[in-house]
Structure 1
């Protein structure tokens, strides 16, 4: 199992667009086998920091999920919005 947490802070004026972009890829993820991965998105109390939690049964599934076109577009738009070095990826180990 691969477990990942990604967090980033965006500019306040990009929050609505980011939420819409997230909803787009989450809708597309529904077309994938939901038994092979989990993907959840949260927003912190500050209203501008997003946390994405995901887990995948293997690298093949992770690759499939992360290459959905709407997800790649979300990433591009998010990155272009200006993250100011806040993007952080953490791989979690199960115990």
Structure 2
């Protein structure tokens, strides 16, 4: 399993548009088998920092999901909004969960 955490900060004026852009790609993500990946987005307490947490069954699923055109458009708009050096990507090692996240596929 691949788990990735991405965080970035946008200008206050871009928060609403970013939320809309997220809703567009999330609608497309919902069309992909949820048995193979999970993607969550949070807006932190400061009101301008977004946190994306994604879990993929494997690299093939990750590539398929991240290639969805609406997600690429979201990334372009996010980057063009002026996030500067706030973008941080972390790959995490899975330890445990209370959920059945892909375990039925072992």
**Structure of larger gyration radius:** 2
The runs of 5 or more residues in structure 1 that have no matched partner are none
Q: Does the residue aligned with 2:50 lie in a helix, a strand or coil?
A: strand
1:91 match: 91
In 2, Cα distance between equivalents of 1:57 and 1:46? 32
Q: Does the residue aligned with 1:40 lie in a helix, a strand or coil?
A: strand
2:77 match: 77
* Superposed CA RMSD: 0.5
- State the 4+ residue runs in structure 1 displaced beyond 3 angstroms: none
Offset, 1:84 = 1.6
Q: How does 1:16-95 map to 2 (within 5 A)?
A: 16-95=16-95
The runs of 5 or more residues in structure 2 that have no matched partner are 96-106
In 2, Cα distance between equivalents of 1:37 and 1:84? 29
In 2, Cα distance between equivalents of 1:94 and 1:80? 32
Q: Give the aligned length.
A: 95
In 1, Cα distance between equivalents of 2:85 and 2:12? 16
